[in-house]
A = this chain, B = another copy of it.
Amino acid sequence: MKQFNKLLSPNAVAVIGASPDRSKIGNAVLENLVSQGFEGKIYPVNPSYEEILGLKCYAEIESVPGKVDLAVIALPAKLAPTVLEQCVRKEVAFVIIVAGGFSELGDEGRKLELSLKEKIRGSRTRLIGPNTVGVLFPHSKVNTALTPGDRIWFPHEGQIGFISQSGALGLLVMDSITENGTGISGFVNIGNRADIDEEDLMEMFLGHAETRSIVAYLESISDGGRFFSTVKRVNMEKPIVVLKTGRTSEASAAASFHTGALASNDRVLEGILRQVGVVRAYNEVELLDFGKALAYARPLEGKRIAVLTTAGGLGVLTTDLLTTEDARPALSMAKFNDTELAELKKHALPIASLNNPIDLTADGSTQSYASILDLLSNSDNVDGIIAYALPQTPKIDSSVIEPIMSASGKKTTIVGVIGNRLTKDLMLQLEKAGIPAYPTVQRTVAAMKALYLRSTYIRRLLYGS
């Protein structure tokens, strides 16, 4: 959305409350912005300094020369309304208020938060937060996170737009996904969402060319009707994955203590998500795993899955998980016709097992793997492929990535890479190539099931069935 351009790709960013003191949030925010390599103008604002991190420092936001697209207020809660007012006068497009101490802390905090809403009413200034760890947009090198970069690793540019109601969970999940090199197109912690909420951000990511899927961690939904109409519209064009906590009364209570918002009835939400075809995740790992599958993989056109492995047990376990209904529906094993079986036979060792799952055994070579992947990706009897890439078997090396890339251009392909040392580099390569790859059998299978749920919804949308 054009209205969000100044957030997604600002020309000038101010950090109000910037500090040279490494223990202050105003230092971390400025430091992250600088070290991320942000190429626009950066304005530290603090009346006590002439210069911070080598940048000229301004006494207040209104003395900054020229336009400011994004301002981060890294000051205590009680100062926020006044400084926000200054930002409004300065016509700052987007303001992030980091401090907590608002509606999540009861009546007094709620009043303070209401005053923030009043300050921006009628203005063009939009507010993120309060009580937010900030935003990250790797494509435009914007990073306003409040955590120093030596404590959290931030993901590089990718295709997943990540909305989180919890800041800490968002940061920790981002830290986690750097392990396998997964990138994001953007991250916003909505915090108390006094203004900008999850629906705004879904619209934003819908209009963001770099974003191919949207994932949201939510503890509560402020307006069910608005949520319903937004996810319905957005999810038609870009897949949304939602992790919504509060499935039990105890979990709702926990969410309410955390962000001060009342959690909605989970059955109602479940119904809404089903109706609008949003894939639901049940934990933080699924959230990003599914976002990755939906961003990278081709749509899955049916439920017939071929499984290719050089480790028999993985094929058996995959079949078990794939054909069992769990939190998601069962898929089925693709069946090959006689011509295909004869072709498969040509490219495998006699000891290989060719009844899907295809087990080339530990003696299977990269060449055999490649020929068979090619057959599978051209088969009319196959909708999707789960391929295990296991560099631990002696005749498989990292060049398997080429046939995998070629197969995934033709057929929905998900890769499992199980292990530790030897698999690390292959994982990173697959990620770079935009192939969804996962380090456990369960995660590999669940990602395929998520694609199936998406495809079911798309077919319903297109053909009404």
Contacts and interface: CB of A to CB of B under 8 A. Distances in A.
Contact of A324 (B248, B254, B317, B441): B248
A151 B394 contact: yes
Given A147-B392, A442-B283, A316 B248 contact: no
A26 B340 CA distance: 36
B419 A166 contact: no
B248 A330 contact: yes
Nearest to A100: B351
A333 B250 contact: yes
Interface stretch (A38-46, A116-124, A175-183, A231-239): A175-183
Contacts of A243: 317
A327 interface: yes
A313 B282 contact: no
A253 interface: yes
A422 interface: yes
Interface string A159-171: 0000011111111
A248 B329 CA distance: 13
Contacts of A169: 311-314, 317
A114 interface: no
B326 A327 contact: yes
Given A258-B312, A313-B219, A441-B283, A420 B175 contact: yes
Contacts of A171: 311, 392
A298 interface: no
B153 A310 contact: no
A127 B399 CA distance: 38
A332 B419 contact: no
Given A247-B320, A330-B248, A351-B100, A176 B258 contact: no
A413 interface: no
Nearest to A388: B172
Interface string A249-285: 0110111011100000000000000000000001111
A333 B316 CA distance: 37
Contacts of A257: 353, 355, 359
A315 interface: yes
Contacts of A251: 316, 319-320, 323-324
A442 B285 contact: yes
Copies in the complex: 2
A176 B320 contact: no
Contacts of A255: 316
Nearest to A392: B151
A308 to B, nearest CB: 13
A439 interface: yes
Contacts of A359: 257-258
A255 B317 CA distance: 9
A362 interface: yes
A151 to B, nearest CB: 5
B353 A258 contact: yes
A294 interface: no
A100 B166 CA distance: 52
Given A284-B317, A323-B248, A418 B258 contact: no
Given A392-B172, A419-B175, A421-B175, A258 B324 contact: no
A179 B314 contact: no
28 contacts: A147-B362, A147-B392, A148-B394, A151-B392, A151-B393, A151-B394, A151-B422, A152-B422, A166-B311, A168-B362, A172-B311, A172-B390, A175-B422, A176-B418, A176-B440, A243-B317, A247-B320, A248-B319, A248-B323, A248-B330, A251-B316, A251-B324, A253-B355, A254-B356, A257-B359, A258-B353, A259-B312, A284-B317
Interface of A: 23, 100-101, 105, 147-148, 151-153, 164-173, 175-176, 178-179, 217, 219, 243, 245-248, 250-251, 253-255, 257-259, 282-286, 310-317, 319-321, 323-324, 326-327, 330, 332-333, 351, 353, 355-357, 359, 361-362, 390-394, 418-423, 439-442
